Amino acid sequence: MRLVNFELEGKPCLGVVKGDLIVSVPTAIDLVAERTIIKFPGGTPRSKARHFFLTTGPIPEDINGLLALGDARRRALDQILDGVVEHFHADLELDRLFTPLGAARLLAPIPRPGKIICVGRNYAEHARETGGDVPSQPIFFLKSNNTICGPGDTIVRPPNSTQVDYEAELALVIGKGGKQISEDKAYEHLAGYMILNDVTARDMQSADKQWFRGKSCDTFAPTGPWIVTSDEIPDPHNLRITLTLNGQTMQDSNTGNMIFKIPYLVRYISQSLTLETGDIISTGTPEGVGVGRTPLVFLQAGDTVSVTVEKIGTLTNPVA
C-alpha cells in the first residue's frame, strides 16, 4: 500500500493510492460503516474483511492510527478499499472519496513525528568523502520535528548559512512501538518506508562541532512522497537511491551499501530508548554530497533537488 497525507477540501486527509486515484480513508470507512456498500462485488472475502476491520479495533483517525494497524488489519483495510474503488469508480461526483493522484497536493506523510532519528556515515564512501573514519558502531543523531516538509515544499536556506547541502536517504517508519527490539523482530516494528532528504547546513555543523543546529533548520527534512508499506519491499537493502540537482545526477548508489543494516540499527537504537509509532529512522546517505565535491556544491535559490528510491518513488523540492 502507498499511504499518503494529502489536502482535501483545504484540510489534511489520510489516503491510499489505488492506481491513478487517491482514496480518502475516512470517507471510505464512513461509507462502509454506514452500510452504503451492502455487498462488495466479488462476494464474501471483502465482506469478511469489512466485518473484521470494523470489529477488531479502533478505526484510524490520523496517520499514527493508520501506521499502528497490524498487518492483518491493514490487509483488511486494503481489501475494503479495493471494493470501494470497484463499487464507486464510475461515480465522478464522489470527490470526497476519490482525488486524481496527478491533481492532488501531497503533504508530508508524517507531519509531526515524535522523533527523527538519523544515522551518520552509514555508507563507507560517504564517510571517506567527508574526511571521517568508517565507523565501527552506528552514529545516531536527532533532527527536530520542525524540519519536516512535504513533496513540492520549498527548502528554505536560512540567512545565517551559505553551505546548505543535500543528503538522499531511505527512511524507516515505525509502526508498532517497542524497546529492546531484537534483530529478528525488527521488521515487525516497521510500517513502511519513505524518502527523506537530510538537508544540512555544513557551516553550522562545523562551527558547532556537533550536528544538531545544522540539521534542524526549518524545512530541512523533506519527506515523502508517500509511505510504501513493508510488504511491498521484501528487500530494503537492494534499492537504487539517486539524487539529482537541477537534473544532474549527484548521488547514485544502492541501499545494499549501508554499513549497518536495518535490523542492526533498530536493535542498536532501541536498546536504550523507546521507539514509538510514527517515529522516523533515516538510514544515512551515500557518497556524492556537495561538501565532498571539488569544487564544493551547495543549494542555491532557484535550484530543484529530487531524490528517487527504487520501489518508493521520487521526492522533489525547490530551494529558496
The residue ranges that bind Mg ion (CB under 5 A) are 167, 198, 285
Q: In a 10 Å sphere around its CB, with 0-12 CB exposed, 13-18 middle and 19+ buried, how is residue 90 labelled?
A: exposed
d(CA 305, CA 168): 10
Smallest separation, CB 237 to Mg ion (Å):
17
Which residue number, 72 or 142, has a Cβ lying nearer to Mg ion? 142
Beta strands 164-165 and 200-201, pairing class: antiparallel
Which residue number, 163 or 285, has a Cβ lying nearer to Mg ion? 285
Which residue number, 139 or 156, has a Cβ lying nearer to Mg ion? 139
Smallest separation, CB 167 to Mg ion (Å):
4
Cell numbers for 283, please give them: 538510514
What single DSSP character describes residue 292? Answer: G
Which residue number, 16 or 118, has a Cβ lying nearer to Mg ion? 118
Smallest separation, CB 225 to Mg ion (Å):
19
d(CA 162, CA 81): 47
Closest Cα to residue 106, out of 312, 302, 316, 277? 316
Q: What value, to the nearest 5°, has the Cα angle with vertex 88 and ends 27 and 30?
A: 20
What amino acid occupies position 77?
A: L
Which residue number, 47 or 306, has a Cβ lying nearer to Mg ion? 306
Residue nearest Mg ion, CB atom distance: 198
Which residue number, 107 or 127, has a Cβ lying nearer to Mg ion? 127
d(CA 303, CA 286): 21
Which residue number, 106 or 119, has a Cβ lying nearer to Mg ion? 119
Smallest separation, CB 118 to Mg ion (Å):
5
Smallest separation, CB 198 to Mg ion (Å):
3
Q: What is the 3-state secondary structure (H, E, C) of 55-101?
A: HCCCCCCCHHHHHHCCHHHHHHHHHHHHHHHHHHCCCCCCCCCEEEH
Instruction: Identify the sign of the CA torsion 99, 100, 101, 103.
Output: negative
Smallest separation, CB 129 to Mg ion (Å):
13
Residues 170 and 283 sit within 8 Å (Cβ to Cβ): yes
Which residue number, 23 or 291, has a Cβ lying nearer to Mg ion? 291
Smallest separation, CB 17 to Mg ion (Å):
27
Smallest separation, CB 80 to Mg ion (Å):
38
Q: In a 10 Å sphere around its CB, with 0-12 CB exposed, 13-18 middle and 19+ buried, how is residue 235 labelled?
A: exposed
